[in-house]
Amino acid sequence: MDLAIVGLERAGKTTLFNALSGGQVETSRYGATPTHIGTAHIPDDRLQALAEHVHARKITPVEVKYWDIPGAGFSKSGAAPQLLAALGQADAFLHVVRAFQREDVAHPLVNVDPARDIEAMDAEIAFADLSLIEKRLQKLTTEVRAARSSEREAGQRELTLLEKIKDGLERNIPLRRQSLNDSEKRALATYSLLTGKPVLIVLNVGEEAADRIDVIQAEYDERFAQSDSRVVAICAKLEMELAELPLEEAEEFRPQVGLKESGVAAVMQASQELLNLITFYTAGEQDTRAWMVPEGTTALQAAGKIHSDIEHGFIRAEVINWQALINSGTIAEARKKGLVGVQGKSYIVNDGDTVNILFNV
Ligand SMILES: Nc1nc2c(ncn2[C@@H]2O[C@H](COP(=O)(O)OP(=O)(O)OP(=O)(O)O)[C@@H](O)[C@H]2O)c(=O)[nH]1
Ligand SMILES: [Mg+2]
């Protein structure tokens, strides 16, 4: 899972990045910083329990990659090409919105106003898409004019589609909210348009509001959440400080500053839900591993995620829920009880499945 952290200048992006990835990027030198890339493992109790159960020598959790995109680089004058490439790769955006007040940290639009900033960033992202579409339209128009009539049709179809998307964007409808059929979606895939990506709004509240975070989140979620966007409220500064502490100390410190649960965990959880991702497991003695795939993934696709050879040689999958496996003791016991499903290529993998794929080499 690749998540790009975006937002206006000094919204707290690098602070959140440090909290999420355990990074130590200096946050007092904000502004004009380069893009940072960091990774984090998704904590997973089910994986730990499974690994212990099979005495695994190695545990491999799911990795998330975070991109910290500087606010200043993403302006109306047009985002830099390498920045657009990084944004295009992301599965979703974490849009950091400033809700904390601080005299010594100037806000690029003077006062703190989260609702305005959410719209401002949406407009910048839409602007990036519009300029890309306009460039492509210009080029395509010339090409279509010059093309032989037999070759004109495909170009014309693309022109019509791009005009339609552009029209929507100009009416403030991001691509993800425009209705497209499957062939239109396929035609657009190569563009990696930014407004097509799901957005998690991360409302960055001040430390003094830490004990009211759930109330603030509910309020904003009601106003701004849609099927393809959600709101999580956190205090990035406190989360960053907590991330620097050993786990036990962090647990102790958290309630003292008014926080009930981990903001980092909340952001991870919400990102997974937004992207409709599920986790399945392979419980090997060598390596017990968690895999993250989109909901609706088939056993064959899951095999491909593990290794292309396993996909090509797929015979069948043995599937058992992780908890059922642990409760049964051994896989042989589970088989006796009829708890291990023997599944074919088109089986839809469930969250929490432990999957063993039998294959030919
Ligand atoms: N009090 C408080 N300060 C914060 C919080 N989040 C960020 N800050 C401060 O705001 C300043 C900017 O934070 P950064 O995380 O560097 O902001 P940024 O969005 O990465 O800024 P650019 O990269 O310049 O766009 C720093 O001084 C942070 O310490 C917060 O939750 N509370
Ligand atoms: Mg920064």
Q: At 26, which CATH number?
A: 3.40.50.300
- Ligand 1 centroid to 93 CA: how many Å? 18
Residue among 220, 212, 202, 206 nearest 263 (CA):
202
- CA-to-CA distance for 212 and 322, rounded, in angstroms? 36
Yes or no: say if 320 and 354 are a contact pair by the CB < 8 Å rule: yes
Cα gap 285→53, rounded to integer Å: 10
Last residue of a domain, one of 166, 195, 224: 195
The structure's pTM equals 0.90
Residue 274, amino acid: L
How far is 245 from 243, CA to CA, in rounded Å?
Answer: 6
Same structural domain for residues 112 and 211? Answer: yes
| 71 ligand 1 Cβ < 6 A | yes
The number of the ligand nearest the C-alpha atom of 9 reads: 1
Q: Which of 322, 330, 287, 320 is nearest to 306 (CA)?
A: 287
- Domain count for the chain, please give it: 3
Q: Measured in angstroms, how far is the CA atom of residue 12 from the centroid of ligand 1?
A: 4
Q: Last residue of some domain: 175, 195, 215?
A: 195
In a domain, 52, yes or no: no
What residue numbers bound the domain in which 173 lies?
127-195
Is there a single domain that holds both residue 20 and residue 86? yes
In whole angstroms, give the CA distance from residue 140 to residue 147.
10
Which atom of ligand 1 lies nearest, measured to the CA of 18? 15
Question: pLDDT 10s per residue in the chain (361 long)?
Answer: 999 999 998 999 999 999 999 888 877 666 656 788 899 999 899 999 999 999 999 999 999 999 998 876 555 556 667 677 778 889 999 999 999 999 999 898 889 999 999 988 888 889 989 999 999 999 999 998 898 888 888 889 999 999 999 999 999 999 999 999 999 999 998 888 999 999 999 999 999 999 999 999 999 999 988 878 899 999 999 999 999 999 999 999 999 999 999 999 999 999 999 999 999 999 999 999 999 999 999 999 999 999 999 999 999 999 999 999 999 999 999 999 999 999 999 999 999 999 999 999 8
Ligand approaching nearest to the C-alpha of 240: 1
My answer on whether 178 and 153 are in the same domain is yes
Closest CA to 359 of 287, 288, 309: 309
Q: Which residues pair with 289 in a beta bridge?
A: 60, 282
On whether residue 324 sits in a domain, the answer given is: yes
The domain that holds 334 is classified in CATH as 3.10.20.30
Is 247 domain-assigned? yes
Most ligand 1 atoms within 8 A of CB, residue of 16, 21, 27 to mutate: 27
Q: What is the pLDDT of residues 195-218, one digit of tens each?
A: 999 999 999 999 999 999 999 999
Ligand 1 contact via 203 beta carbon (within 6 Å): no
Same domain for 174 and 230, yes or no, is: no
Residue 286 lies in a domain: no
Residues 218 and 340 in one domain: no
14 C-alpha vs ligand 1 centroid, how far in Å?
7
Tell me, using a 6 A CB cutoff, whether residue 289 lines ligand 1: no
Q: Give domain status of residue 224, yes or no.
A: yes
Q: Is 102 in the pocket of ligand 1 (CB under 6 A)?
A: yes
* Residue 80 tokens, joined: 């830099």
- Regarding the beta carbon of 105 and ligand 1, being less than 6 Å apart is answered yes
* Residues contacting residue 226 through CB under 8 Å, at least 6 positions apart: 177
Whether residues 109 and 228 fall in one domain: yes
**Which of 195, 214, 229 represents a domain boundary (last residue)?**
195
Please name which ligand lies nearest the alpha carbon of 73: 1
User: Residues 39, 71: one domain?
Assistant: yes
What is the layout of strands, in order, in the sheet containing 2-6? 36-41, 63-68, 2-6, 92-98, 199-204, 229-234
User: In this structure, are 141 and 188 located in the same domain?
Assistant: yes
Distances (CA, A) of 147 to 133, 184, 198, 345: 20, 22, 37, 44
